[in-house]
Structure 1
Amino acid sequence: MSSISELSQSKEYLSFRSSVPLRVIVVDSNDKKGWRVYDCGPKIIKCPLVCLPPVSGTADVFFKQALSLSAKGIRVISVEAPVYWNVKEWCEGFKKLLDNLGLDQVHLFGASLGGYLAQKFAEYTSNYPRVASLILCNTFNDTSIFNSHESAALYWLLPALVLKRLIMGNFRPNKEDYNMMEAAEFMGEKLESLTQIELASRLTLNCLRGYVEAHKLKDIPITIIDVFDEYALSSVVREELYKCYPEAKIANLKSGGNFPYLSRCQEINLHLQIHLRQFDNNDLSPANMPLFNRC
């Protein structure tokens, strides 16, 4: 993959980077551990949509959602965590970030690892709910699918090149689909920008033994977005997620690969709007007016 992708030079991406400032918010005692945050849309909204990226992603991989949805009056915040070595620390850090931003509750859109962490945060805050709803994309609820619990303790020792190869092996873009190839190249570029310690911590979170206590999420509205074509997770993983959330709404895309929020952004954005419409005209709305008036 090229070091500079076409998508990162597109007018849309350059517009996003020039119009939406990157904030680094430190929430821990270690002043080097800052969350990277892009905040789009009306700041008066106190229950925004917050996007959580996959292992290979940075906060700006959701730029297509941020630009499109914020233009419809929806507040969209895309975040990238600093280095954390276990899920509890990540959840504590994310809670502090929401406190810093003055957000009591949020809607979470998570892809792959981001989707798993979104579920774990909803579980972590179940006694004092901070998650208004979940949109889970190409994700999982049990890390046993990776069969890498023993390896997780060693990732911090491995060189960045080895870690990147471990992740790149799961990309497998459809070479006949331009949008999927473009998305994979863009994500490859983002992967290259991550340091060894960032990659090691993310892979550790991804593979440490853990699962979601789904019964603690039974009152949270959930939409599951999956693609029917080949991507990093198996159909068995998808079915297990469905079983955990029998009341969830299912949104299936015919294709889209590992990164449908880039390769099939219009479809993803539509499903996000449909999911969020149920919160129109109440305190949990992420928009400053009903979404059906914005489509």
Structure 2
Amino acid sequence: MGEIKISPDYNWFRSTVPLKKLQYPIYWDHLEFCDGFRKLLDDLHLDRVHLFGASLGGFLAQKFAEYTHKSPRVQSLVLCNSFSDTSIFNQSWTASSFWLMPAFMLKKIVLGNFASGPMDRVMANGIDFMVDRLESLSQSELASRLTLNCQNSYVEPHKIRDIAVTIMDVFDQSALSTDAKEEMYKLYPNARRAHLKTGGNFPYLCRSAEVNIYVQIHLRQFHGTRYAAIDPAMVNAEELEVQKGNLTSNQDDQEQS
């Protein structure tokens, strides 16, 4: 259903781990979500943050950056299997009725986007985990997330063009269409690209090591600034360069094949 994580300016928020997972409450429109997220950052005394968003979480991260563009709160974005326009789901006309549907119908809609068929054990475990998480959500929580996912809205890129962006996606099957991926590339022509050979809808679960490396590479551009998100002592620069080289080599092999 989409994850959004924050990585605070390390120098201002040393008492936390670099990435903090958020389970946001029930919101029925994007403006309400953005206002609630801003209040959370205010309560945490965070001036600016780096956001990692997957699927709906990536869309909401973009909308929050857009919402705060006059007084920026987002330093950078990592967008994983994300999108910029909810019209790609062709369900804008049903978005206003999700709150009326019973939970089993809502779960069926979500499960319809989960991969099926042969897959490796780690990917299967990731899907099982998400199915368990889905079962733990109430009808209102499910309905609100589907409403945010399908409610007619799009990102205005001119409002967030100065934000550093990394677009992360997979080469295997996912709920994100090729057209949606291409639209993201067009929207952020200067964004860094992070491709994973496999990972499906949940690469941050089943390909977490690769995803973490990409996030570290993304954040390295802020080392030595007040927006550094990782304690330099926690990063082995030499190892990171080796891993970066391995990922680049893997991508070249994938493109050639």
What value does the CA root-mean-square deviation take over the aligned residues? 2.3
Answer yes or no: is 1:221 the counterpart of 2:148.
no
* Partner SS state of residue 22, structure 2: strand
* Partner SS state of residue 122, structure 1: helix
Equivalent in 203, 207, 210 of residue 146 of structure 2 = 203
* Partner SS state of residue 126, structure 2: helix
The 8 Å contact of residues 103 and 139 in structure 2, kept in 1 or not, is answered as: yes
**Distance apart, 1:45 and its partner CA:** 4.1
Alpha-carbon distance between aligned partners in 1 of 2:88 and 2:209, rounded to the nearest angstrom:
30
The 8 Å contact of residues 5 and 51 in structure 2, kept in 1 or not, is answered as: no
Alpha-carbon distance between aligned partners in 2 of 1:232 and 1:123, rounded to the nearest angstrom:
24
Pairs aligned (count): 235
Letter in 2 for 1:104: D
1:188 corresponding residue in structure 2: 131
**Distance apart, 1:175 and its partner CA:** 2.5
Post-superposition Cα deviations, 1:124-162, rounded to whole Å, max 9, x if no partner, equal 000010000000000100000011111000000000010
**Distance apart, 1:287 and its partner CA:** 1.7
Post-superposition Cα deviations, 1:99-128, rounded to whole Å, max 9, x if no partner, equal 001101000000000000000000000001
Is 164-173 or 87-96 further displaced after alignment? 164-173
2:33 corresponding residue in structure 1: 90
Alpha-carbon distance between aligned partners in 1 of 2:236 and 2:17, rounded to the nearest angstrom:
12
* Partner SS state of residue 93, structure 2: helix
2:178 corresponding residue in structure 1: 235
Alpha-carbon distance between aligned partners in 2 of 1:79 and 1:166, rounded to the nearest angstrom:
23
| Mapping for residues 25-40 of structure 1, pairs under 5 Å | none
CA distance 1:185–1:218, shift in 2 (3 Å): same
Q: Which structure shows the bigger proportion of residues in helix conformation?
A: 2
* Partner SS state of residue 85, structure 1: coil
Answer yes or no: is 1:262 the counterpart of 2:230.
no
CA distance 1:213–1:44, shift in 2 (3 Å): closer
**Identity %, equivalent residues:** 52
Equivalent in 50, 55, 59 of residue 116 of structure 1 = 59
Letter in 1 for 2:166: T
1:46 corresponding residue in structure 2: 12
* Partner SS state of residue 150, structure 1: coil
1:160 corresponding residue in structure 2: 103
Q: Which runs of 5+ in 1 are unaligned?
A: 1-36, 49-69
Alpha-carbon distance between aligned partners in 2 of 1:185 and 1:119, rounded to the nearest angstrom:
28
* Partner SS state of residue 211, structure 1: coil
* Partner SS state of residue 133, structure 2: helix
How does the TM-score come out when normalised to structure 2? 0.86
Equivalent in 178, 196, 201 of residue 121 of structure 2 = 178
1:34 corresponding residue in structure 2: none
The 8 Å contact of residues 167 and 193 in structure 2, kept in 1 or not, is answered as: yes
| Mapping for residues 11-30 of structure 1, pairs under 5 Å | none
CA distance 1:284–1:43, shift in 2 (3 Å): closer
How does the TM-score come out when normalised to structure 1? 0.75
2:250 corresponding residue in structure 1: none
CA distance 1:43–1:120, shift in 2 (3 Å): closer
CA distance 1:47–1:173, shift in 2 (3 Å): farther
1:60 corresponding residue in structure 2: none
Equivalent in 248, 256, 273 of residue 191 of structure 2 = 248
Q: Which runs of 5+ in 2 are unaligned?
A: 241-257
Letter in 2 for 1:276: L
Letter in 1 for 2:171: F
* Partner SS state of residue 104, structure 2: helix
Answer yes or no: is 1:275 the counterpart of 2:235.
no
